[in-house]
Amino acid sequence: MSQAMKTKKIAERAKKIRPGRNVKKAMKPLFKKKVPGTAKETVGGKDLNISKRKRAESQREAALAAERASKEPEAIKHSEDEAREYAENIFDTVREPLIALDHILRVVKVSRSFYDFFKVKPEDTMGQLIYDLGNKQWDIPKLRELLETILPQKASFDNYEVEHEFTTIGRRVMLLNARQIQQASGKERIILLAIEDITERKRAEEEILKLNAELEDRVVKRTAQLEAANKELEQFAYVASHDLQEPLRMVSSYTQLLEQRYKDKLDQDAKDFIGYAVDGANRMQRLIQDLLEYSRVTTRGQHPAPLDAHDALGEAVRNLQVAIQESGALVTSNDLPMVLGVRTQIVQVFQNLIGNGIKFQRPDVAPRIHISTENNLQDNRFRLFKVTDNGIGIEPRHFGRLFEIFQRLNSKKEYPGTGIGLALCKRIVERHGGRIWVESEPGKGASFFFTLPVKGHDNT
């Protein structure tokens, strides 16, 4: 019989079943017999034990759910215990004092560092209103402001500075960090207060401020002393330029007049003596003039301004035109940049360095002097200048004293001069924020290097 026909018969028989009659018996002819060795019963090929299995499964799931539900409170309690232990360990591990307050500002938890630092006992702390701690020594106006005014408006606040005199530990400066924490259980909020003692740091800062003030005061006084010294030096320069040079001019003039008027009556020794006197007077005049130039570098120096280094070099060469022609010197240069400087002083540097190249020439060798420039790799705020000559050169052991005032490496008879020229160059270059040095070997000429600030960088 087909499945469709079986289903039709079942439906027809089900209509004929009288109320109260056993359904299974009424439909028994349509059931197949049990298959030996199994517990299955089928009707029309359908498994009649499905509902039994579903009921059993539902019962098992309900039992498992009940078992899980019975264990949840225990698990929750275990998790809460772990969290509480973790929080307590954090409290006791942190070095800064920590204190927890309830919603009415009573102490509910305190770290060990709090007890140690403020020298208080647990029995005098736990459950107390924070303002009552230590005989009300915590009744601090700024603490009240933080807890009662600031925190209700903000959930947290950092670096709130409080200074207070404690009876147990003296005056302290503290930084307070405060946090409001709403507990997950729905209980009232708690306030966590972290305290950092910055007393020593504040003392150190105050000491530094005091030392800085003293240093500034010393600088002001020293500056005033230097200004006074500069004024004295300026006055000396004025005296030297007028009062000292005038007698020297008179000595030189009258000595030369004596030679002209009585030259027929003087023997050779007398003429030599007069020559020595005139030469000495002239050298003294040159020395005074050089000293004046040296002193005026700082006392009468103008403020540096943009200038064309090539123009300054041209002026220096024109000033040395007589010496260049007499020695047969050749002065060349590359293109030179704009720099920041005092024009007269930069001209003086070029003039002194080129003049030395001419003065210290090798015998029977015409001076060759070249001025070049390049980027300063050590500091791009400055331009590097190089003045190279083919003169007698300098021994490296003399480099250290070469730029000191009145230092001479050669005799006055062989190479005349006052010994101030290179010292003057050094003073001018350093006044502009640069530096100067030399590289040389005996018999192979010398190269003088110096740096000047470029346009756009005023370093003076």
- The SS3 of residue 380 is coil
Structure tokens at 126: 């736990």
Which phi and psi (to 5°) does residue 181 adopt?
-125, 120
Q: Taking Cα atoms as reference points, which of 105, 191, 194, 101 lies closest to residue 155? A: 191
> Who contacts 189 (Cβ-Cβ below 8 Å, separation ≥6)?
103, 180, 181, 182, 183
- The SS3 of residue 176 is strand
Quote the pTM value: 0.47
Distance CA 449, CA 425 (A): 11
Distance CA 326, CA 131 (A): 97
230, 298, 346 from 343: Cα distances, Å? 22, 14, 5
Given the DSSP bridges, would you call strands 170-181 and 190-197 parallel, antiparallel or unpaired? antiparallel
Q: pLDDT at residue 257 above 70? A: yes
Query: Token pair 């001018």 is at which residue?
Result: 428
pLDDT, tens digit, 9 for 90 and up, residues 160-189: 888 888 888 888 898 888 888 876 655 678
Confidence of residue 379 (pLDDT cuts 50, 70, 90): confident
- The SS3 of residue 159 is strand
pLDDT of residue 387: 94
Structure tokens at 133: 């701690």
Which phi and psi (to 5°) does residue 168 adopt?
-90, -35
304, 370, 403 from 147: Cα distances, Å? 60, 78, 70
1, 56, 323 from 284: Cα distances, Å? 149, 129, 21
pLDDT, tens digit, 9 for 90 and up, residues 278-322: 777 776 776 677 666 666 666 555 678 899 999 999 988 998 888
Q: Taking Cα atoms as reference points, which of 297, 122, 91, 287 lies closest to residue 194? A: 91
Q: Other C-beta atoms within 10 Å of 217: how many?
A: 10
Residue type, 428: I
The answer to whether 386 touches 371, Cβ cutoff 8 Å, is yes
Burial 134-172 (b: 16+ CB within 10 A, else e): beebbebeebeebbeeebeeeeebeebebebebeeeeeb
Structure tokens at 433: 């924020």
Distance CA 149, CA 285 (A): 82
Burial of 439 (0-12, 13-18, 19+ CB in 10 A): middle
pLDDT of residue 388: 94
Distance CA 384, CA 150 (A): 61
Higher pLDDT, 406 or 281: 281
What DSSP designation does 419 have? S
Confidence of residue 138 (pLDDT cuts 50, 70, 90): confident
Distance CA 306, CA 309 (A): 9
Structure tokens at 156: 């947290």
Which phi and psi (to 5°) does residue 173 adopt?
-110, 125
Query: Token pair 């010994």 is at which residue?
Result: 419
Q: Taking Cα atoms as reference points, which of 311, 300, 298 lies closest to residue 339? A: 311
- The SS3 of residue 11 is helix
Which of 18-32, 36-50, 445-459: highest mean pLDDT? 445-459
Query: Token pair 């949840």 is at which residue?
Result: 72
pLDDT, tens digit, 9 for 90 and up, residues 201-240: 889 988 999 999 999 999 988 888 887 877 777 676 666 6
Higher pLDDT, 252 or 337: 337
The answer to whether 365 touches 330, Cβ cutoff 8 Å, is no
pLDDT of residue 30: 47
